[in-house]
Chain A
Amino acid sequence: MESGGVIISSGAEQVESEKRSDGLVHILALLNRTRDWVLIAFLLYLLLVAVSMIGSGFNMAAGENAKDLFNFARNPITGLVIGTVATALIQSSSTVTSIIVGLVAGGLPVVIAIPMVMGANIGTTITNTIVSLGHIRRGVEFRRAYAAATIHDFFNLLSVIIFLPLEIQFGILDKIGAYLSSLVYGGNSMSMKSFNFIKPLIQPVLKTIQEVASGLLPHPLNGIVMILLGVITIIAVITVIGRLLKVLMVGRVKKVFHWAVGRGPISGITSGTLLTILVQSSSTTTSLIVPLAGNGVFTLRQVYPFTLGANIGTCITALLAATAITGPTAGLALQIAFVHLTYNVLGVVVIYSIPFLRNIPLRLASTLAKATSRNKFYAIAYIGVVFFLAPAILIIGSNALGW
């Protein structure tokens, strides 16, 4: 009887100890999550400071002449190529558009910045194309994965082909962006300007950095160092935020995905947008669907709207970055962020709602994927032509035409 009692007692103790250790694990997980969220909040703050640093750096280094520094990119094709190549190298359109917002605050004219933003859309597509190349040894799987990746490329290329000439001719995006920005930064007393709570958070830190830079370095080196520090900080911050959010948001990502399944293209676009906002990276979202399409679970038509949503979702970072800018260029910084959003929303609305246009990326992606699965050299030729050769030819050609 006594030994039975001991067994029961030790069993109860074991259950109690397991409960305690479960509770401890739960508390530790909660603490880790809280730490990560606090870190994300701090990194977002750093992002805002970094964007402001670029604007201030240009003002310090070039002052009123900052605009002249960007004359080399007055040709819209050059701007487009700069945006494409910079994004392809940095592998993040959010980073490049945030830097562009900072540059606009520093004096980059919005007209020059618009093609750069369009280029950022093209440059970001290289990431999921490279991801699809990892499936190269599995024939059918590679064909499906490659088509799912390049459909994003073809959509963004088509979008530029439609909207860049319209922008050069009529300045549609420039006007819409200016109008939306005026709603926020308008001269009326009801404008959002008076509610900007970011300014008091950013200004003290920015002023300290300016003073330190001016104290340590001569003019214009102080401004140049601030610009470089701003750019490096944006790249680092967005990379770290992306990594943290992937871990923290995995549960929500699944929920959004589950919700969208079987509901049609509008839900696909919405879920692509939401997922990109959650993980703060269109590259992550569009790369995520490559293996899902590769293993045949999702068809090309099903992943297509999802990738379009990623284009819209990625605009949130530039909008956030624009809130950091204060002073006379604040409206312009917000204008370019709104241009980015308008361009991506209009692209989806125009191309996806017209069946003829909607089918162009589908057909091109399928055809290229079939050709590439038969001959791997097409993949190299495609990347070489779209990301390097065509931009070089376009720049040379447009300069020769005196644009």
Chain B
Amino acid sequence: MTDKTQKELETKIARLEQYLVKLKAELEKTRLQEQHEAIDQIDQYLNEDDNLVSDLEEFWNVLVSDMREFFDRRKKHSQNRP
């Protein structure tokens, strides 16, 4: 590798690294902005601990349907056995 090519590559790497730092800073800025926007909507989450019964109901419904699926699969599996 010639000195010129090596220098060119080093310059390219330095430029890419600079660009990477810039992109990371931009990403961080976007993330922070998103977090501040979410905080502005925090009113809707303040009563989360008052809806425990509906949270449990939601979970229970999913659990029951998963159980049904599981037992249906087992039933089919045992029926298909010779």
Contacts and interface: CB of A to CB of B under 8 A. Distances in A.
A121 to B, nearest CB: 16
B71 to A, nearest CB: 13
Interface stretch (A37-45, A74-82, A126-134, A181-189): A126-134
A130 to B, nearest CB: 5
Given A131-B49, A288-B45, A376 B63 contact: yes
Contacts of B59: 133-134, 136, 376, 379
Given A127-B49, A283-B49, A287-B48, A133 B42 contact: no
A261 B28 CA distance: 11
Nearest to A279: B46
B28, B54, B63: residue with the most chain A Cβ atoms closer than 10 Å: B63
Nearest to B35: A261
Given A134-B55, A137-B58, A261-B32, A292 B66 contact: no
Interface residues of A, number: 33
A246 interface: yes
B25 to A, nearest CB: 12
A291 interface: yes
A262 interface: yes
Contact of A246 (B28, B47, B51, B62): B47
B27 to A, nearest CB: 13
Interface in A359-403: 376-377, 379-380
B35 A298 contact: yes
The 7 A-B pairs of least Cβ separation, nearest first, read A134-B55, A133-B59, A287-B49, A287-B48, A297-B38, A257-B39, A136-B62
Interface in B30-54: 32, 34-36, 38-40, 42-43, 45-49, 51-52, 54
Contacts of A131: 48-49, 51-52, 55
Interface in A246-264: 246, 250, 253-254, 257-258, 261-262
- B interface, size bucket: 20 to 34
Interface in A132-149: 133-134, 136-137
B53 to A, nearest CB: 9
A10 interface: no
A17 interface: no
B35, B40, B45, B49: residue with the most chain A Cβ atoms closer than 10 Å: B49
Contact of B35 (A91, A130, A297): A297
Contacts of B46: 246, 250, 253, 279, 284, 288
Interface string A270-301: 00000000010101100110111001011000
A400 B48 CA distance: 41
A257 B32 CA distance: 12
Contact of A295 (B38, B43, B49): B38
Nearest to B56: A130
Given A287-B49, A288-B48, A376-B62, A254 B42 contact: yes
Nearest to A245: B46
B55 to A, nearest CB: 3
Contacts, number: 82
Interface of A: 91, 127-128, 130-131, 133-134, 136-137, 246, 250, 253-254, 257-258, 261-262, 279, 281, 283-284, 287-288, 290-292, 295, 297-298, 376-377, 379-380
Nearest to A296: B34
Contact of A257 (B34, B42, B58): B42
Contacts of B32: 261-262
Given A131-B48, A137-B58, A292 B43 contact: no
A281 B47 CA distance: 12
B64 to A, nearest CB: 10
B34 to A, nearest CB: 5
18 contacts: A131-B48, A131-B51, A133-B59, A134-B59, A136-B62, A137-B58, A246-B46, A250-B42, A253-B42, A253-B46, A284-B46, A287-B49, A297-B34, A297-B35, A298-B38, A376-B59, A376-B63, A377-B63
Given A253-B42, A376-B62, A261 B36 contact: yes
B48 A290 contact: yes
Contacts of A292: 38, 42, 45
A60 to B, nearest CB: 36
A380 B63 contact: yes
Contacts of B43: 250
